[in-house]
């Protein structure tokens, strides 16, 4: 009942196609009339159709098996032409099985996507089989047995001749014996079709030949033979690519190194064969050039601190593909070279005809100036490449350089040329290589100048100023010191307008006076103190006062107070007598003096003890006079105060 239901459903499709005109047949057998039509079955054994001498015979009853079944027809057909028997037809979910009686050989049915006359059709319900009679595109004409039904209106038994089905709605099988497809000779009437054949990926080193073909019976192989036109076909090299099926593609890589790496027109002959030995041929001509482009006429324009433009002419036998302009500065080597220049487009120039140009921007190179290196790589369509280099100096303005401040100089009466430190981004530049110096107004006190002029990678100039101070004051001495003042003097400074006198107070210099002379008395000083003084020369030039540096400090003291009271012992014992005095508040010690006449005194000793008030004078003979005075020490030098009263020892 399943098969009957399937046939009834198929009836509707067949009826709808009954009056449909078929297009031209692409492969057929003995009949040219492939019109689909209905035929009345009036008796058992009625022949309603025939293909390749094998009749389709119908009975007036339904034959699910046996002589009048659909399976019997394909078995009869295949036995006649290929001596095989088919079995297990429509008995399971699969294609029929094949029995081949000749020992040592194999036979099988293989599924095909593009049927040809003589192939087997089986519906997808595995309930009916037929033989392909003709093929037109995706539509197949069948010859079959047992495709019939009762006309409900008339009661007649009807079958369809030349029934049409779609390839995609059914399964199709082809017989293979010993791995080779079996095809009706009448069905194989033409050579395979080369649907495409071309060369691609053409470079200076070779190219790829690709071809596609189809054949109703089946493809066997591609043969691709290539040779340089200048050497002729005898130099050809053949590549064979085995294929199967009704459509296939093949490709092979051609290396020009196999032919002496010639620049030539290469001839590729593509032959495709089907399983019947018929072939189709197409010849491809591929030009390969191995001559590199020629770069000439390099110019550099529009130079500025922002960059420059490089132009060149590129001559080639074919066409320019790309011209690249990778660039870096000599400073820090290639740290600013774009790492993707060779594979990306960042360094690609603009091409107009045979002219290529590229603008180098310093902003792409850390804004560095100086020596730039631009390499030109010109590639043609075959990948041939030529290279040329150009160096461009972009001078950096000295205004952008770092100049260390120049310390003030002391006047010497000669031209002063202090060293100048010039650096570029931390790199110290070399004098007379990167810049030169020109000094002016550098012999007198005041503002001097030095002009820095760029050299090599640097251009322009700038002026840096430095000061020339009066020379240091020399010859400072203490002329006189009292208990409240110190008078000092110094040597004349020829370039000075005057002098400032300073006293150090709590570690800082404090100006105490000024003079145009060569001496000065500092007054109002406390008694018995140590002091440091300095004298600075000054000169006014163009309204600006220039002071000399501080000289080495002059140390001085104010005298101690007078020892107000001095007494002597009344008695001399064993030639020794004692003197006693009143203690001073500010002193470093006491000096003891003696005299025989009370007029001419000799220093007997110094007592470096500010708290001492007693001293024993020994070796007294006769009458002796004594006096005492305090002193201040600066190093080993004593600065004495006033004498005490004189006392007599006898």
Contact 214, 193 (CB under 8 A): yes
Asked if the 193-288 domain carries CATH number 2.60.40.3760, the reply is: yes
The per-residue pLDDT for 573 is 87
* C-alpha dist (Å) from residue 613 to 78, 79, 585, 589, 592: 157, 159, 12, 10, 11
**Does 625 have pLDDT greater than 60?**
yes
No. of helices (H) and no. of strands (E), the chain: 2, 54
* CATH number for domain 294-394, candidates 3.10.20.600, 2.60.40.3760, 3.20.20.140, 1.10.10.10: 2.60.40.3760
* pLDDT of 254: 97
Q: Is 10 helix (H, G, I), strand (E, B) or coil?
A: helix
- The fold of the 477-557 domain, in CATH, is Immunoglobulin-like (2.60.40)
Q: Which of 310, 300, 235, 307 is nearest to 267 (CA)?
A: 235
User: What is the domain partition of the chain in residue ranges?
Assistant: 2-187, 193-288, 294-394, 397-469, 477-557, 566-649
Q: Right CATH number for 397-469 from 2.60.40, 3.30.190, 1.10.30, 3.40.50? A: 2.60.40
The reported pLDDT for the residue numbered 519 is 97
- Residue 147 is predicted with a pLDDT of 93
Task: State the average pLDDT over residues 112-120.
Answer: 91
pLDDT of residue 23: 28
Is 80 exceeded by the pLDDT of residue 202?
A: yes
Question: Rounded distance, CA 434 to CA 425, Å?
Answer: 14
In angstroms, rounded to a whole number, what is the distance separating the alpha carbons of residues 291 and 27?
52
- Per-residue pLDDT at 155 exceeds 80: yes
Q: What is the arithmetic mean of pLDDT over 419-443? A: 95
d(CA 108, CA 97): 7
Q: What is the 3-state secondary structure (H, E, C) of 396-440?
A: EEHHHCEECCCCCEECCCCCCCCCCCEEECCEECCECCCEEEEEE
- Residue ranges with strand state E in 516-564: 519-522, 530-541, 544-547, 554-557
Q: What distance in Å separates the CA atoms of residue 73 and residue 49, rounded to the nearest whole number?
A: 12
- Which whole number is the average pLDDT over 309-323? 94
Q: Which of 207-211, 390-394, 621-625 has the highest mean pLDDT?
A: 207-211
Better-predicted residue by pLDDT, 602 or 456? 602
Centre a 10 Å sphere on the Cβ of residue 523 and count the other Cβ atoms it contains: 12
Give residue 494's Cα distance to chain centre. Answer: 66
Alpha helices for 93-249 (secondary structure H)? none
- B/e letters for 321-332, b = 16+ CB within 10 Å, e = fewer, are bbbbbbbbbebe
Interval 287-305 mean pLDDT: 93
Nearest to 162 by CA among 60, 44, 28: 28
- Domain 566-649 CATH superfamily: Immunoglobulins (2.60.40.10)
- Mean pLDDT is lowest, of 132-136, 238-242, 609-613, for 132-136
Q: How confident is the model at residue 29 (pLDDT cuts 50, 70, 90)?
A: very low
193-288 and 397-469 share one CATH topology?
yes
Mean of pLDDT values over 468-476: 95
Query: Is-above-0.85 flag for pTM?
Result: no
* Phi, psi at 263, each rounded to 5°: -85, 115
Provide CATH code, domain 2-187: 3.90.1720
Question: What pLDDT does residue 244 have?
Answer: 86
């Amino acid at each position: 009942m399943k098969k009957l239901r399937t046939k009834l459903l198929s009836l509707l499709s067949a009826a709808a196609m009954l009056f449909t005109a078929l297009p031209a047949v692409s492969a057929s057998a003995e009949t040219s009339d492939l019109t689909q039509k209905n035929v009345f079955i009036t008796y058992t054994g009625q022949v309603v159709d025939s293909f390749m001498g094998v009749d389709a015979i119908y009975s007036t009853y339904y034959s699910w098996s046996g002589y009048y079944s659909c399976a019997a027809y394909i078995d009869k057909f295949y036995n006649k032409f290929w001596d095989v028997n088919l079995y297990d037809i429509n008995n399971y979910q699969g294609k029929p099985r094949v029995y081949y009686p000749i020992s040592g050989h194999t036979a099988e049915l293989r599924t095909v996507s593009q049927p040809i006359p003589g192939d087997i059709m089986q519906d997808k319900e595995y309930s009916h089989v037929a033989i392909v009679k003709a093929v037109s595109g995706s539509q197949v004409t069948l010859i079959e047995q047992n495709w019939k039904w009762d006309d409900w209106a008339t009661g007649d038994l009807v079958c369809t001749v030349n029934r049409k089905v779609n390839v995609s709605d059914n399964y199709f099988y082809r017989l293979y014996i010993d791995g080779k497809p079996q095809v009706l000779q009448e069905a194989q009437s033409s050579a395979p079709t080369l649907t495409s054949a071309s060369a691609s990926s053409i470079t200076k080193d070779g190219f790829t030949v690709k071809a596609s073909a189809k054949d109703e019976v089946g493809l066997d192989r591609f043969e691709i033979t290539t040779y340089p036109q200048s050497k002729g076909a005898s130099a050809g090299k053949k590549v064979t690519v085995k294929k199967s099926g009704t459509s296939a593609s093949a490709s092979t890589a051609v290396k020009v190194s196999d032919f002496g790496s010639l620049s030539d027109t290469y001839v590729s002959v593509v032959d495709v064969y089907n399983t019947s030995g018929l072939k189709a041929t197409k010849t491809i001509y591929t030009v390969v050039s191995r001559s590199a482009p020629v770069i000439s006429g390099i110019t550099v324009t529009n130079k500025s601190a922002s960059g420059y433009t490089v132009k060149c002419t590129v001559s080639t036998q074919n066409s320019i593909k790309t011209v690249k302009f990778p660039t870096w500065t000599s400073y820090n080597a290639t740290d600013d070279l774009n790492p993707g220049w060779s594979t990306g487009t960042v360094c690609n120039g603009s091409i107009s005809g045979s002219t290529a140009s590229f603008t180098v921007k310093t902003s792409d190179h850390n804004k560095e100036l100086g020596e730039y290196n631009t390499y030109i790589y010109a590639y043609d369509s075959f990948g041939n490449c030529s290279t040329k280099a150009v160096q461009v100096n972009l001078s950096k303005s000295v205004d952008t350089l770092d100049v260390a401040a120049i310390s003030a100089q002391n006047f010497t009466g000669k031209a002063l040329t202090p060293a100048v430190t010039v650096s570029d981004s931390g790199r110290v530049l070399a004098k007379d290589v990167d810049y030169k110096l020109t000094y002016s107004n550098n012999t007198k006190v005041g503002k001097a100048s030095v002009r820095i002029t760029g050299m090599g990678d640097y251009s322009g100039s700038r002026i840096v100023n430095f000061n020339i101070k009066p020379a240091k004051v020399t010859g400072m001495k203490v002329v006189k010191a009292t208990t409240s003042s110190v008078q000092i003097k110094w040597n004349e400074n020829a370039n000075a307008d005057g002098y400032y006198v300073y006293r150090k107070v709590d570690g800082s210099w404090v100006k105490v006076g000024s003079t145009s002379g060569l001496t000065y008395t500092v007054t109002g000083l406390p008694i018995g103190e140590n002091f440091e003084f300095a004298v600075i020369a000054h000169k006014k030039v163009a309204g600006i006062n220039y002071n000399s540096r501080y000289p080495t400090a002059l140390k001085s003291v104010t005298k101690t107070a007078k020892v107000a009271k001095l007494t002597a012992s009344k008695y001399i014992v064993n030639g020794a007598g004692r003197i006693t005095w009143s203690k001073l508040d500010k002193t470093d010690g006491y000096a003891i003096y003696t005299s025989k006449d009370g007029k001419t005194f000799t220093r007997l000793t110094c007592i470096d003890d500010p708290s001492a008030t007693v001293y024993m004078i020994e070796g007294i003979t006769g009458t002796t006079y004594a006096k005492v005075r305090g002193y201040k020490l600066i190093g080993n030098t004593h600065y004495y105060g006033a004498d005490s009263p004189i006392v007599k020892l006898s």
